[in-house]
Structure 1
Amino acid sequence: MWAPSTAYTAGTVVTHDGVPYQCLLNHTSAPGKEPDRELTLWQRVTVSDDVAPSFPANLRVTRTTSSSVALAWNASTDNVRLAGYEVYRNDTLVTTVPGTTYTDTGLAPSTAYTYMLRARDTSGNRSDASYVAATTEAPAPSQPATAVATAGDTNVTLRWGTGGGTVTGYRVYEGTTQRAQVISTTADISGVGKCQTHKYTIKAYNVTGESAGRDVNATTTGCSGPSPNPDRLPGAPYLSAAAGPSPATVMGATGVKSFTMAFVQAAGSACNPQWDGVRPLNGGPDASAIGMIRSRGGSVEISFGGPTGSKLGRTCSSPPAFANVVQYVISAFGPTAVDFYLEPDELEDIVVQDRILNGLKIVKQNFPNVKISVTLPALKTGLTPAGVRLVNQAKTLSVPIDVYTIRAFDFGAYDVYQETVNASEGLKSTLKSVFGWSDAQAYAHMGIAGMNNRSNIGENTTPALWTEIRNWAMVKGLTRLTFWAVNREPGGWPFTQITAGF
């Protein structure tokens, strides 16, 4: 082997970096004058090499994932110079590497592969082959299906449907804390406080990892002491009497005691109240339904406005005129509350909005025991700008609105429960800011109006989610709970039965 500071005579053969060279002239070597650099002193010797490298022993799999296989092996030797290692997957050359490890990526999950390895030298000689088999892991499982929570005083039972893929088990988290790990689709969580709301996330797992989470909320029972809001209205789902069903049948099947009768509107362009703008206030199915409800010990709220139709806030020319028609309806039916279901045609027209507010101020002066609710569209973060203006104007004009109700639908909710809570908390913040109320005072001036099953834009409120929303509203002390509508319910009226428990 060539070395610096060494005397060489012509004809001497040395190796440098594994390559043989023959000395051409007598000389003493020096650093920087290696054989591959001093071609006047050295000539490369062509050597016939027909010796293969040694066998690369101990080919092994060091790690697998759902899309990769990691390999390692012992180093080979060669009589001249080793060029590297050829890696084959299922008899197809994948790559040549210089070292003794390689990770094969981009593979299919749950798939068997056979690897072959050969060492190769600079003359193209190849060693005998080493073989090893490997199977990639299964992919992470799919998200679990819909989950349902059943809560007691101090425990919660969660049940969910299976997703797809290979599942080893399930983990239940609350935030980042793991609460349970099970192999079935049921988990019991104990040691939970009474009268508390918890959000759980369920994830399927296997050796590859965890699935996307499935969220479910639960509110424990056992709330002690008086209601945080003893003045709250009874749960009163919306009912359009003209579309059925019979309120007597629904009351008998569900235990509900109150309905929100929908909707009092203007008869065309006149400041004249009629049901849905087309049925007479008295003598029709609506008045008959109210009489039926009251004869069975029930009560009614009456809702003005609604999503379509001609609105009294627009057709009545002044606050006194608007107040007169509202007071006429109150006198005719004796409701516990009047509700004003405001859509953009009334809410976003500031002239109409102020006319309604000043009219309600008159109504409250003359009927102080009838609660007034305004039902407003919501964003995920709280009220719309027009809704915020209404709250501020109610303060400015000294209008004593009892309940500000958010419509918890058609606002693009993915998690209907959580985003209903978020919107409600946004409303609470607005009320506290405008009126200077405490949390409890703000909650006591709030309500939630949901929509059973699919909303107009596809949000899905299930009976389980509506139960969670109801429980949250009760724990927080909200005053009003309703949903649109009894007429949209399947047989059995599950949403009405849940609302009756408010």
Structure 2
Amino acid sequence: MRTRHRILACATAVLIGSAGALTTPSAAQAANLLSNPGFESGTLSDWSCSGGTGSVVSSPVHGGTKALAGAASAADNARCAQTVSVQPGTEYTLSAWVRGNYVYLGVDGGASTWTASASDWKQLTVSFTTGASQRTAEVYLHGWYGQGTYHADDVSLDGPGGGDDAEAPTAPTSPRVTGTSATSVSLAWNASTDNVGVTGYDVYRDGVLATSVTGTTATVSGLTPSTDYRFTVRAKDRAGNASPDSQAVTATTDEKGDDTRFIQAAPYLYLGWGNPPSATEVMNATGIKWYTMAFILAQNGCNPAWDSQRPLTGGVDESTIKAIRAAGGDIVPSIGGWSGNKLGPNCATPEALAGAYQKVIDAYDLKAIDVDIENTDEFENPVVQDRILGALKIVKENNPGLRTILTFPTLNTGPNSWGNRLVERSHALGADIDNFTIMPFNFGGGADMYGSTVNATEGLKGKLMSVFGWTEAQAYAHIGISGMNNSSDTGEITTPRIWTQIRDWANSHHIGRLAFWSVNRDRPDWEFTSITAGFTG
């Protein structure tokens, strides 16, 4: 990759070959000055699009999990722009990956470039020099009138930022590959330091910007199976200074094959509480495809009903499910929960309980069911635990292809004694559970929610490996995380930044499921839902 260095009084940090020896870094390299350059926030944060024509989508993407869609019409070219601080009389390079007809990239009042047709991702690049007194620059993308929607991703403005801060962050250390698939590579590295503060990291694939992230993990997607790739990482600060490159790390993508793993990003949607939002509007705004719909309980004995009162068919629940499916999504019902009159204690035998589950499966032709097993009536009751496992085994045998999920509480170190029993008995009874989803929250106020979630998941992984004899990768593939957005019941705080870290960790370790409680609470911008939509397993 061609790199422009700034000439400063202090020494320049140098990365030496594959050995990665570093002198003390202090000089600033060129950086990507744009905020939210890959739209990974799930919003148009820091971008302004004309006439409400811009949106963030989860497909197609060039890198990461999100991209910009600009809906050009006969009356609007869908111009999306961002203004940044720059230095006078300085050369900059602007680039972006685009798809569509007549897509333009440029700087207001300066140079621009365009493509007449890009059926697949194509990189546009243009260089310009700022004026003698210029302190800001507005960069833009737009389509053309009547030419339809264009897509853009991984936009980069390469050069020194404005302001007085000229000290670069230190280079990221210990870059490493944490996972591969046929089309993606997951990476992690140790954090950089800076005199003011590190604001993000740019990940380069074979010398070309692949994605930008705020944390110390990233997944680069859209790759070719059985192919070698080389990755480096740079840290950047608010002034636009960039660190030297990290050591290079190489990875080979897996061979192409059928991915039979069960992958599900499915936040909770509860139609019986909390001013439930329009499921399809949230799908359009965030790219989410699955919902975990709550809660199916018992009505008049061993009969399933939504919240013990709404029928399976003919009501708002069924109409919502139909709308979700018409929009290209699907649902998994949450059977049980913390409170209410549950099926597990009310159905006397595994066979009777399986019959209740079957009514739910048949009502919606389900691909998966989730039993949320909590509290003393189910989770801390060995008879009911075994009854639920026996029922899930029966419906799995009677419904080929059905996926089964168990959701249950956890300690911050992994399953408690009841959780350990649930895992052990699922193996002993041959229940063939596809996913064990833990709920890593309510540990106590002030908990480190990222660290506690990771520790709890690692504890479950160890238990699954021990009980089932699985490899580490097999255990991760059978694990789910169901968090709680914002404040938990005990006052723990999970911010969008922390949830993004959890999501990225879950992607890099290829777990099977990600959920949170709940979409009803994710207002006004559906931030957590957008982040969850970026879960790829």
Match of 1:165 in 2: none
Q: Say yes or no: does 1:238 pair with 2:268.
A: yes
| C-alpha distance in 2 between matches for 1:328 and 1:188 | 59
C-alpha change, 1:150 and 1:436, in structure 2 (3 Å) is farther
Q: Provide the secondary structure at the position in 2 that maps to 1:242.
A: coil
AA matched with 1:402: D
Would you say how many aligned residue pairs link Structure 1 and Structure 2? 317
Q: Say yes or no: does 1:378 pair with 2:410.
A: yes
- Identical residues among aligned pairs (%): 45
Match of 2:220 in 1: 222
| C-alpha distance in 1 between matches for 2:195 and 2:329 | 47
Q: Alpha-carbon deviation of 1:252? A: 1.0
Per-residue CA deviation, residues 424-475 of structure 1 (Å, 9 max, x unaligned), is: 0000000000011100110111100011100000111111111111111111
Q: Say yes or no: does 1:389 pair with 2:421.
A: yes
Match of 1:468 in 2: 501
- Among 282, 287, 300, the residue aligned to 2:313: 282
Match of 1:311 in 2: 342
User: 273-282 or 230-239, which moves further after superposition?
Assistant: 230-239
Per-residue CA deviation, residues 253-298 of structure 1 (Å, 9 max, x unaligned), is: 1111111111100115x11111011211111211111011011111
- Among 449, 455, 465, the residue aligned to 1:422: 455
- Among 449, 455, 466, the residue aligned to 1:433: 466
| TM-score, structure 1 normalization | 0.59
Say if 1:198 and 1:217, in contact at 8 Å, map to a contact too: no
| C-alpha distance in 1 between matches for 2:426 and 2:279 | 34
Q: Alpha-carbon deviation of 1:302? A: 1.0
| C-alpha distance in 1 between matches for 2:282 and 2:267 | 11
- Which consecutive residues of structure 2, in runs of 5 or more, have no partner in the other structure? 1-34, 41-62, 65-163, 178-185, 197-213, 224-252
AA matched with 1:389: R
- Among 310, 325, 331, the residue aligned to 1:294: 325
Match of 1:138 in 2: none
Equivalent residues in 2 for 1:118-267, closer than 5 Å: 187=169, 189-190=171-172, 192-193=175-176, 195-198=186-189, 200=191, 217-222=215-220, 225=253, 231-243=261-273, 244-267=276-299
| C-alpha distance in 2 between matches for 1:351 and 1:199 | 47
| C-alpha distance in 2 between matches for 1:294 and 1:405 | 24
Greater relative CO (CA pairs within 8 A, separation 6+): 2
Per-residue CA deviation, residues 291-331 of structure 1 (Å, 9 max, x unaligned), is: 11011111111110012101100000110010001011011
Q: Provide the secondary structure at the position in 2 that maps to 1:492.
A: coil
| C-alpha distance in 1 between matches for 2:324 and 2:395 | 24
Equivalent residues in 2 for 1:449-488, closer than 5 Å: 449-488=482-521
Q: Provide the secondary structure at the position in 2 that maps to 1:303.
A: strand
| C-alpha distance in 2 between matches for 1:239 and 1:500 | 14
Match of 1:334 in 2: 365
C-alpha change, 1:288 and 1:414, in structure 2 (3 Å) is same
Q: Alpha-carbon deviation of 1:190? A: 4.3
How large is the RMSD of aligned CA atoms in angstroms?
A: 2.9
Match of 2:392 in 1: 360
| C-alpha distance in 2 between matches for 1:385 and 1:404 | 15
AA matched with 1:236: A
Q: Alpha-carbon deviation of 1:395? A: 1.0
Match of 2:132 in 1: none
Per-residue CA deviation, residues 33-58 of structure 1 (Å, 9 max, x unaligned), is: xxxxxxxxxxxxxxxxxxxxxxxxxx
Say if 1:257 and 1:500, in contact at 8 Å, map to a contact too: yes
Equivalent residues in 2 for 1:396-415, closer than 5 Å: 396-412=428-444, 414-415=447-448
| C-alpha distance in 2 between matches for 1:346 and 1:204 | 53
| C-alpha distance in 2 between matches for 1:438 and 1:348 | 29
| C-alpha distance in 2 between matches for 1:434 and 1:409 | 24
Say if 2:333 and 2:370, in contact at 8 Å, map to a contact too: yes
Q: Provide the secondary structure at the position in 1 that maps to 2:264.
A: coil
Say if 1:242 and 1:286, in contact at 8 Å, map to a contact too: no
Per-residue CA deviation, residues 377-401 of structure 1 (Å, 9 max, x unaligned), is: 0101100110100111111111100
Per-residue CA deviation, residues 461-498 of structure 1 (Å, 9 max, x unaligned), is: 11111111111111111111111110111112011111
Match of 1:90 in 2: none
Q: Alpha-carbon deviation of 1:184? A: 9.5
Per-residue CA deviation, residues 150-193 of structure 1 (Å, 9 max, x unaligned), is: 99999xxxxxxxxxxxxxxxxxxxxxxxxxxx989994644645
AA matched with 2:441: F
AA matched with 1:410: N
| C-alpha distance in 2 between matches for 1:185 and 1:265 | 59
| C-alpha distance in 1 between matches for 2:477 and 2:483 | 18
Q: Provide the secondary structure at the position in 2 that maps to 1:418.
A: helix
C-alpha change, 1:332 and 1:432, in structure 2 (3 Å) is same
State which structure, 1 or 2, has the greater radius of gyration over its C-alpha atoms: 1
Say if 1:197 and 1:217, in contact at 8 Å, map to a contact too: no
Per-residue CA deviation, residues 232-260 of structure 1 (Å, 9 max, x unaligned), is: 32311110123410101111111111111
Match of 1:13 in 2: none
| C-alpha distance in 1 between matches for 2:36 and 2:416 | 32
AA matched with 1:247: A
| C-alpha distance in 2 between matches for 1:340 and 1:203 | 47
